[in-house]
Amino acid sequence: MSWISTIIFLPVVFLVIILLLPSRFREWYRYITLGTAILQAGIACIIYLRFDQAGSDGFQFLEKVPWIHLSLGNLGRLEIDYFLGVDGLSAPLLILSAVVMVAAAISSWEIKENMKGYFALFLLMDAAIMGVFCALDFFLFYVFYELMLLPLYFLIGMWGGPRREYAALKFFLYTLFGSVFMLLVIVGLYFSVTDPVSGAYTFNMLHMMDAANFVPGAVFSPEVVQTILGVPARLLGFAVIFIAFAIKVPVVPLHTWLPDAHVEAPTPISIILAGLLLKIGGYGILRICFGIFPDSALYFSWFIGMLGVISILYGALNALAMKDLKKLIAYSSVSHMGFVLLGFASFTTEGTSGALLQMVSHGILSTMLFFLVGVLYNRVHDRFIPNFRGLASHMPHYTAFVMVAFFASLGLPGFSAFIAEAFTLIGTFNSQSVNGLLPRWMAIAGSLGILLSAAYFLWTLQRMFFGTTRFRGGEAWSKQLIDLRPHEWAVLLPMALLTLMLGIFPSLFFDLSNSALANMVQELFETGKRHLDSLQYTNNLRF
Amino acid sequence: MIEKSWLIPLLPFLGFLINGLGRSRISKKTAAVIGSASVLCSFILSVLVFFELQGSAETGVTVKLFEWIRAGSLQIPFSFYVDPLTCVWLLVITGIGFLIHVYSAGYMHADQGFGKFFSYLNLFVFFMLILVMGAGYAIMFIGWEGVGLCSYLLIGFWYKNDAYNDAAKKAFIMNRIGDLGFLLGIFLLIATFGSTDFTEIFPQAAGFQSGDGRLLAITLCLFIGAVGKSAQLPLYTWLPDAMAGPTPVSALIHAATMVTAGVYMVARSNILYALSPVAMTVVAITGLATAIFAALIALTQNDIKKVLAYSTVSQLGYMFLALGVGAFTGAVFHVMTHAFFKALLFLGAGSVIHALHDQQDMRRMGGLKKAMPVTFLTMLLATLAISGIPPFSGFFSKDEILAHAFSRDPLLWVLGFAGALLTAFYMFRMLFLTFWGDFRGTAKEKQGIHESPASMTVPLILLAVLSVVGGFLGIPEVFARQAHLLGGFLAPVFAASQEVLPAMHVPHSTEWILMGISVLGVLVSIGMAWSLYVKKKRVPAEDTVQRSGLVAWSYHKFYVDELYQALIVRPLDALSGFFYRVMDKRFIDGIVNGVGSTILAFSSTLRLLQTGRIGSYLFYMVAGIILIFLLNYLIF
């Protein structure tokens, strides 16, 4: 077994152990889960150190084992491989997942009911998330992708807040809506792409990314325009997969599952939702939508950039109106993930690198932010902003971390988010002169989001943390609201240092992904442009 | 020494870490010593750097530290650039910074957050040094936002007071508006020159045609940044509110150093501006308008710190006027002299406030001359300096600016002169109200009036000396040949732009006349203040009194805050509320839930068909078969 399979299946092994352990050892479940997460983080370190940064444009740690190979008579052969690997795009996200999992495992200490079920589902989800980032076979990817959805539904629906059932169902239906149609496109792709060696149809994503492997005349072939219901098939295929991932990101107007799911989910699940699940959306858009349909990505780039700008501004404006702290952070997530879309749409190395860094940075920061909300909520079971005043003098250490997380999120230089957002905007800004895809005003509009984020974060600081101390719960709350406990320090301090480190030495991240993204962006743009020119879709979708 | 200049910002940063992390364990005395000593060491290093740079033939030295960012084609190294312009700011920041640290030890001695205060001050000095030492706009931006953060933290230092928090938030957000302009300027620089480094950009830019559109866009964007940071029209309203912070903060950040960052940025980019005549005009007009506008407001303010705050806004306006007319040296010169006398004025005001137990209203002061002789004398010298009485420092720097303005356009001179008259009036009004006449506070307050301790008065005296003699660094040509020491030192920085810009040509006789008029005018203005506030013993009316006409406009600060509230803050609130309650809740969620409930309604109706009776199922089957046959018959 190589490192990647280990990092994916380690949780499964411990999951079995948890299931076998009788309930009187239930106190152990937490330690087992935490131990798993720490082991995974250790493996992630090894992957980071062994990763060949110069050759990050190729896939590394490759594993390929035939999984389902069937002869289907005159339909040819079915080829599904257990095919894993990471490159400069997925490696940072895999490492991020391992880090966020540790934080989520620690914050799972708050779970008190039905622990066997909780930790088993937690570990299953852990395995699936790691798998999504490493799978290179589309079928395998889909299996991991759906496998992740199931535990999440139960984790929200059973261990969540008062409206957990509504939130869980909304989350589930939203996501299912996206992924069911995605399955159709996967099948279509399968019948369009053949393995250049064996000649059989294949789910191999690397083959799908190479135009030479498409069967002439197949439905998604980039050679001639095929239409489905009068719409060019490749554009439709792109749009369907894009919507599936856009729901995950989430992109306005497909975002309304997120505030509900985040608010109702228990803290560790909020952390995973914001820290990792949203990143799967972004990852999927770049790796799969852009990777397989570069022509459609170019065709829709203006539109995608526009969705990014709308998400940035809409999320920020909504956050300004929030009175629930957790909801405020949920909407700020919508706003910050808008940058990811904008950066991808720019088709520049700067923009794409910025967008990827934004995913990593937001993964760290949203973990911190949701954890911080959890700290408050666990103490007094309230997170309504007007119910707190002057927390700064009551919980000084807690306030210090809140300020770090807020200022990092609002894009203060020295923290990771600044570099991420600045590079996204640089890429967007340069796009007009480099490839003419995005107009400059999108960069300007996007930068307004940075201004708005300062407004809602500072206003929250002022409302909850400054002023004279006064709580709605009075004396009782004052007693319950004690400053940070050791295990809370153990989550917050490393996260704060991590975002600071990435802000001061961003090359730690950029070196990992630079050559991969530079090559990828150039290649996508060139092949996309070539296909787009030869396909000659009717009038361009630009307004 | 220059190669080790990274030590200069590092020392205050270490001070910040020590005081910040150990603030519950470190005694007040130790915290003050650590905080002040770190800045003192930086000052000594800056002096060494100054002498080395003066002795060397090089105009600027780049100190490479590490590769910061490399992504795509863009490379941004983390390096420092030390040249004469940087050097002037280094000396001002660390020199005055040190004096203010010492002063703070006395001023804040009774405050609970003593250690926190010193750690923030040190952090500010660190970021300010990064700002002026950065070798490119990207590094400058780190410092730029960093000082904004420190300003936020220090304005809201007494965080239990809501009004102070409002002021802090306002300062940060208004600065942020400017920062976005700066950021866009950086993007444009990257798009145009492919780099953010000064040494890459300026030689390339020198080859551009004058009036190039790209340079115009860059300079205007950068200027938006400067407008925010240096509190110019229309983004100035945060600075008067920022007086909520402790007085040493007002002196260091909101008078001597941070607010001059905009001047530094424009002076640093002098070649870009010199090649954009339109931008130069915009800078000059903004500066002049701010100078007069703020001076008009200062005429009727009654809070001693507010008067000084508007005065700072106004003086910054003069600096931008200087930049706009191409008097880069004059602008830097005025930054320096202003740092001396304005820091002194704020510290003096702090000393008064300290003696009166946090009373800031000048209507409750008066007659403090005797009780606080050191404070009085030093503030008198500073007031003479800011009013432009020779041979105090402000006279020389202001004269240089006005002479350049005259050479550009006599109208600029007239307006600038009018502003100078206002300056003299409101400054002496402040001085007379505070130190002359009878004490107007309560008897209890009168008992407690005392001169401040040595840790506060010694910095006052040192700054007073600088305010008096500082002007001799830039004696104009009419007095002596080769006398402008500062100009000679800075010449290499502005060499390229001086070739582009027309040289100043004002005959010596004209210059003598202008100087004479301005001195005479200022003396008359002071005389008017004297007759009003000393002879007639006029005291400004209470807040409840209705004011009318121009006085009301000035007193209510031309209602700009109210205007912004109505034009920006309230619409934004309404918009965010609309988006959440209508768009998100009603519209999008309405559709989502609507789809859900439609399906639910449909299925609950359909469910009724499943009755469990064989008979009805048989009926459906037969009906179905008939339907199929019918369809078959109709279609085919």
What backbone torsions phi and psi does residue A232 show, to the nearest 5 degrees?
-55, 130
Q: A490 and chain B: CB distance < 8 Å anywhere?
A: no
Q: Which residues of B fall within a CB distance of 8 Å from A446?
A: none
Q: B172 and chain A: CB distance < 8 Å anywhere?
A: yes
B449 against A286, higher pLDDT = A286
Pick B71's closest partner by Cβ from A314, A350, A392: A350
Q: A449 and chain B: CB distance < 8 Å anywhere?
A: no
Q: A339 and chain B: CB distance < 8 Å anywhere?
A: no
Average pLDDT over residues A349-369: 93
At B338 the pLDDT is 92
> Looking at CA atoms only, how far is residue B398 from chain A in angstroms?
36
pLDDT value at A1 more than 70: no
Q: Which residues of B fall within a CB distance of 8 Å from A468?
A: 160
Q: Across the interface, do A447 and B180 touch by the CB < 8 Å criterion?
A: yes
Q: A458 and chain B: CB distance < 8 Å anywhere?
A: yes
Give the C-alpha distances (Å, rounded to integers) separating B43 from B12, B153, B409.
Answer: 11, 24, 40
B 554-573 near A (Cβ less than 8 A): 572-573
At A335 the pLDDT is 93
Pick B69's closest partner by Cβ from A412, A451, A510: A510
Q: B190 and chain A: CB distance < 8 Å anywhere?
A: yes
Q: CA-CA distance, A535 to A530, in Å (whole number)?
A: 9
**The Cα angle at residue A145 between residues A144 and A151, in degrees rounded to 5:** 85
Which residue in B576, B582, B593 has the most chain A C-beta atoms within 10 A of its own C-beta, making it the best mutation to test that interface?
A: B576
Do the beta carbons of residue B430 and residue B363 sit within 8 Å?
Answer: no
- Indicate the domain borders of chain B: 1-66+74-135, 136-555, 564-635
> Looking at CA atoms only, how far is residue A383 from chain B in angstroms?
19
Residues B148-205 pLDDT 10s: 999 999 998 888 888 888 888 889 988 999 999 999 999 999 988 888 899 889 888 8
Residues A512-532 pLDDT 10s: 888 888 888 888 898 888 888
At B39 the pLDDT is 92
> Looking at CA atoms only, how far is residue B34 from chain A in angstroms?
22
Tokens 């934080």 locate to A103
Residues ≥6 apart with Cβ < 8 Å to B450:
B355, B371, B372
Q: Across the interface, do A348 and B72 touch by the CB < 8 Å criterion?
A: yes
Query: Which residue in B has a C-alpha nearest to residue A314's C-alpha?
Result: B579
The residues pairing with B62 across neighbouring beta strands, listed in sequence order, are B81
- Indicate the domain borders of chain A: 300-537
Buried b (16+ CB within 10 A) or exposed e, A252-286: bbbbbbbbbbbbbbbbbbbbbbbbbbbbbbbbbbb
Q: Which residues of A fall within a CB distance of 8 Å from B162?
A: 462, 466-467
Pick A429's closest partner by Cβ from B145, B191, B588: B191
Q: Which amino acid is at B512?
A: W
Q: Across the interface, do B592 and A414 touch by the CB < 8 Å criterion?
A: no
The residues pairing with A68 across neighbouring beta strands, listed in sequence order, are A80
pLDDT value at A492 more than 80: yes
Q: CA-CA distance, B14 to A69, in Å (whole number)?
A: 63
At B481 the pLDDT is 63
A 305-334 near B (Cβ less than 8 A): 314, 317-322
Do the beta carbons of residue B63 and residue B79 sit within 8 Å?
Answer: yes
Q: What's the mean per-residue pLDDT of chain A? A: 88
Q: Which residues of B fall within a CB distance of 8 Å from A424?
A: none
Q: A267 and chain B: CB distance < 8 Å anywhere?
A: no
Cα distance from N-terminal residue to C-terminal residue, chain A: 52
Q: CA-CA distance, A300 to B624, in Å (whole number)?
A: 46
Tokens 């809409």 locate to A314
Q: Across the interface, do A354 and B71 touch by the CB < 8 Å criterion?
A: yes
Q: A231-232 and B61-71 as β-strands: parallel, antiparallel, unpaired?
A: unpaired
At A541 the pLDDT is 46
At A75 the pLDDT is 67
Contacts across the A-B interface (CB distance below 8 Å): 129
For residue A293, give both structure tokens. Answer: 């349909």
At B534 the pLDDT is 83
Residues B606-636 pLDDT 10s: 888 777 888 888 888 899 999 988 888 877 6
For the whole model, what pTM was predicted? 0.91
Q: Which residues of B fall within a CB distance of 8 Å from A466?
A: 156, 159-160, 162, 165
Residues A398-407 pLDDT 10s: 999 999 999 9
At B480 the pLDDT is 66
Q: Across the interface, do B73 and A314 touch by the CB < 8 Å criterion?
A: no
Q: CA-CA distance, A293 to B248, in Å (whole number)?
A: 61
Pick A466's closest partner by Cβ from B66, B165, B589: B165
Q: A467 and chain B: CB distance < 8 Å anywhere?
A: yes
Do the beta carbons of residue B429 and residue B533 sit within 8 Å?
Answer: yes
pLDDT value at A434 more than 80: yes
Q: Across the interface, do A170 and B592 touch by the CB < 8 Å criterion?
A: yes
Q: Across the interface, do A425 and B588 touch by the CB < 8 Å criterion?
A: no
Q: Which of B383, B392, B287, B393 is closest to B337 using CA atoms?
A: B393
B 584-603 near A (Cβ less than 8 A): 584, 588-589, 592, 596
Average pLDDT over residues A413-435: 90
pLDDT value at A40 more than 90: yes
Q: Across the interface, do B169 and A458 touch by the CB < 8 Å criterion?
A: yes
Q: B74-82 and A470-471 as β-strands: parallel, antiparallel, unpaired?
A: unpaired
At A141 the pLDDT is 93
Q: Which residues of A fall within a CB distance of 8 Å from B575?
A: 317
Name the percent of chain A lying above pLDDT 70: 98
Q: CA-CA distance, B9 to B129, in Å (whole number)?
A: 6
A 382-411 near B (Cβ less than 8 A): 390, 392-393, 407
Q: A350 and chain B: CB distance < 8 Å anywhere?
A: yes
Which burial class, exposed, middle or buried, applies to A112 when counting CB atoms under 10 A from its CB (0-12, 13-18, 19+)? Answer: exposed
Q: Which of B406, B399, B416 is closest to B506 using CA atoms?
A: B406
Ranges of chain B with pLDDT below 50: none
Residues A139-195 pLDDT 10s: 999 999 989 888 988 998 888 888 888 888 888 888 888 888 888 899 888 888 888
Q: Which of A55, A40, A140 is closest to A95 using CA atoms?
A: A40
Q: CA-CA distance, B77 to B134, in Å (whole number)?
A: 10
Q: Across the interface, do A468 and B160 touch by the CB < 8 Å criterion?
A: yes
At A213 the pLDDT is 86
Element housing B9 (H / E): helix B7-21
At A542 the pLDDT is 44
Q: CA-CA distance, B383 to B423, in Å (whole number)?
A: 10
Q: Which residues of A fall within a CB distance of 8 Å from B67?
A: 507
Which burial class, exposed, middle or buried, applies to B260 when counting CB atoms under 10 A from its CB (0-12, 13-18, 19+)? Answer: buried
Q: A429 and chain B: CB distance < 8 Å anywhere?
A: yes
Query: Which residue in B has a C-alpha nearest to residue A512's C-alpha?
Result: B71
With bands split at pLDDT 50, 70 and 90, how would you rate the model's confidence at A543? very low
